[in-house]
A and B are shown apart, each in its own frame.
Chain A
Amino acid sequence: MKLQRMNRRALALGALAVSGALALTACGSDETGNPDGGSSNAAAPSNIKCDDASGQVLADGSSAQKNAVDAWVKQFSAACQVEINYKAGGSGAGVTAFTQGQVPWAGSDSALKPDEVAASKKICSGGQGIDLPMVGGPIAVGYNVPGVDKLVLDSATIAKIFDSKITNWNDPAIAKLNPDAKLPNLKIQAFHRSDESGTTDNFTKYLIATAKKDFPYEGGKAWQAKGGQSAPQSSGVAAQVKQTAGAIGYFELSYAKDGIKTVAIDTGAAEPVEATVDNATKAIAEAKAVGTGKDLALELNYATKADGAYPMVLVTYEIVCDKGNKSETLPAVKAFLRYAASEDGQKILAENDYAPMPEEIITKVRTTVESLS
């Protein structure tokens, strides 16, 4: 009897361990970056300037840039005695944590709004929160259509597909853009995000800017168009696209893996533009700086027709105080951002499917980082 009871307990413990391990792997399922690839695994670069940076830095914000920050942190903490803890709780959570003074820097998919700048003035004594564009990312439109290896779409067609106005893959509008493809008679299953997301925000901003007539919605982090199906997070959308024949969905380029094909966009340039890191950087170079003072917020030019510029991009910002940063975290944050904006820091981005900032913008970022106080 006693033996039996002990067996039970052992079994229960075993079961607990198994389910616990499963739960842990579940949390890691969003990890799509390739931390072991490329030179990011090499010895720490010696040109990281630590100054007197030390201690622990907490940060919060955009999950879109999580893999980029992780790659930076890995390099940076190998060189400097700083522990950086980036909790990718989402842009909204990051900005809230920043304006409440819980974190010295936050990541966000969108620039600070006027009321958020006002709130930041309480935290930054004598200064205010500013946006530093650091990480770019192409938003890929992935599809799963048997027998179609190359697909070209323009913004109007994408808008109609995601607004359930085009519902079959053999629609004449798609056929016109893809004269060589053998489009099957298959129902289109358009997937969008079920959670609020900066990716949705930027994707719809693009559609609104370039195809207002076919996408008559206001835009924002929550999906508004009717119809279609949804899944949580980029990884969820990518998984559904992979699983479902006839599916199409949008997510950051780094999730377009394991055989998910991406749409090339007919922007009006000479050739349809593929979703690649380089092409995204070219599109970001077309952006206009709209921030005042040290703020470097960008306004992207979604309607760009430049050759090889992939217009469906998102830019994530690092948000810090321009003046009045807390003295105990300032050296660490400054050193970290200096590294992130450096040539090495930006080079690591491309290895992780993010787009480095164009030269002109990153030069300004570097100057601004040096002036943080």
Chain B
Amino acid sequence: MDTTQIADAPPPTAEQKRAARGATRPGDRIFLGLSRGSGILLLVIMAAIAGFLTYRAVLAISKDDGNFLTTFEWNTGVNPPVFGIAVLAYGTIVSSIIAMVIAVPVSVAIALFLTHYAPRRLRGPIAYVIDLLAAVPSIVYGLWGALVLVPYMSGLFGWLDDYLGWTGIFSWQGGAARSMLTVGILLAIMILPIVTNVSREVFRQVPQMHEEAALALGATRWEVIRMAVIPFGRSGVISASMLGLGRALGETMAVATVLSPDFLIHTSLLDPGGGTFAQNIASKFSEASEFGRDALIASGLVLFVITLLVNGAARAIIARRKEYSGANA
């Protein structure tokens, strides 16, 4: 603003500068101080937490007898301690991918149905039921998973083994269905509401003009969705999926209740075993020694880094698709 005035106006006084910043009256100044202080405080707290966690993690990793990144074992109680995050990283990523593969298409379908197909009278109740899903605590999902889902999964597992067992990914040796696939399905159900709700809001924002224009050109309802709604909503749906993915990556109690964890990587998604970062922390924390806790903190830091990478990737994707975003519509 100042730069446009420079041409013929005298240089602004200190008073004017302050006026330009908008902080003249005491209330403004107090508010400015408060908000700036909160911002700085937040950064300081974050830095302190990060510093503390890193310190504890380094303490633990320096005493690790195995390789922190590649060891297939978690034994902090023995001397020398051996622990590694390979299985946890694999399990966390695989279960989240399964959850995303199942949940995102279903969520987008539900969102499109709610915004473009459902009769007006049905929209409210359906949206409401989906909201309710989000309110269920994760331990309840875990109990439901362990008591209801797991026993019923054996049918599906048998079927997958019969027809897709040759792939190796879907071979099944029997045993309880407390495997990565079950966990993935449970996580899919858990992240469904958030992905659906955000996608629905995004699809609702599609400018009426785009849709009417498409209709005027003779497009069917499906063609309108394909040509106007989905391209417009794509970055929003990606954001929604990332929110869901964040929940799937960090889900703790439900996974700990349903999975039968061990420290091996199984090629088959149907074999019981594997583990995730959050599940491992929840399982081991209460009985862990001080050193064991440091090791768990180290694994938590890795999860943090993975989450950061995923969010960064999502931002990059969204940035590339800026031309479709609502700001330019």
Contacts and interface: CB of A to CB of B under 8 A. Distances in A.
A96 B151 contact: no
B262 A222 contact: no
A4 B128 CA distance: 12
Contacts of A4: 124
Contact of A232 (B78, B137, B174, B283): B283
A93 B284 CA distance: 11
A218 B128 contact: no
Interface string B247-267: 000000000110111101000
A120 interface: no
Nearest to B256: A232
A303 B51 CA distance: 49
Contact of B286 (A89, A227, A244): A89
A237 to B, nearest CB: 10
Interface in B189-214: none
Nearest to B151: A243
Nearest to B77: A220
Contacts of B272: 229
Nearest to A8: B128
A240 B177 CA distance: 11
Contacts of A70: none
Given A218-B78, A222-B74, A230 B260 contact: yes
A26 B139 contact: yes
B23 interface: no
Interface in B259-293: 259-262, 264, 272-273, 283-284, 286-290, 292
Given A218-B78, A229-B272, A230-B261, A196 B288 contact: yes
Interface string A88-101: 01111100100000
Given A19-B136, A92-B292, A243-B151, A194 B176 contact: no
Contacts of A198: 287
A42 B139 CA distance: 36
B76 interface: yes
B75 interface: yes
Given A218-B78, A220-B75, A244-B176, A196 B139 contact: no
B135 interface: yes
Interface in A53-75: none
A15 B135 contact: yes
Contacts of A16: 135
Nearest to A231: B260
B287 A195 contact: yes
A40 B286 CA distance: 30
A230 B262 contact: yes
A288 interface: no
Contacts of B135: 12, 15-16, 19
Contacts of B75: 218, 220, 222, 224
Interface residues of B, number: 38
A268 to B, nearest CB: 29
A196 B287 CA distance: 6
Nearest to B289: A92
Nearest to B286: A90
Contacts of A12: 132, 135
Contact of B260 (A92, A220, A229): A229
A243 B178 CA distance: 12
A22 B141 CA distance: 10
Given A19-B136, A90-B286, A189 B176 contact: yes
A20 B140 CA distance: 9
Interface in B123-166: 124, 128, 132, 135-137, 139-140, 143, 146, 151
B174 A91 contact: no
Contact of A196 (B173, B175, B262, B284): B284
A231 B261 CA distance: 8
Given A92-B287, A220-B75, A221-B77, A229 B256 contact: no
Contacts of A20: 137
A89 B293 CA distance: 14
B125 to A, nearest CB: 10
Interface in A265-279: none
B283 A194 contact: yes
A292 B134 CA distance: 56
Contacts of B178: 229, 231
Interface in B38-54: none
A192 to B, nearest CB: 9
Nearest to B131: A12
Given A22-B140, A222-B76, A229 B175 contact: yes
Contacts of B139: 23, 26
B77 A195 contact: no
Nearest to A226: B264
Interface in B51-66: none
Nearest to A16: B135
B140 A90 contact: no
Nearest to A63: B286
Contacts of A226: 262, 264
Nearest to A218: B78
A229 B176 CA distance: 8
Interface of A: 4, 8, 11-12, 15-16, 19-20, 22-23, 26, 29, 89-93, 96, 187, 189, 191, 194-198, 218, 220-222, 224, 226-232, 236, 239-240, 243-244
16 contacts: A23-B137, A26-B140, A90-B286, A90-B287, A92-B287, A92-B288, A92-B289, A187-B173, A187-B174, A191-B260, A194-B261, A195-B283, A195-B286, A222-B75, A229-B176, A229-B273
Given A26-B139, A226-B264, 13 more contacts: A19-B140, A22-B137, A89-B286, A90-B287, A96-B290, A191-B260, A195-B287, A218-B75, A218-B78, A222-B74, A227-B262, A228-B262, A232-B257
Interface of B: 74-78, 124, 128, 132, 135-137, 139-140, 143, 146, 151, 173-176, 178, 256-257, 259-262, 264, 272-273, 283-284, 286-290, 292
For the complex of A and B, list the 5 residue pairs with the smallest distance between their C-beta atoms, beginning with the closest: A90-B286, A196-B287, A220-B77, A229-B260, A195-B283
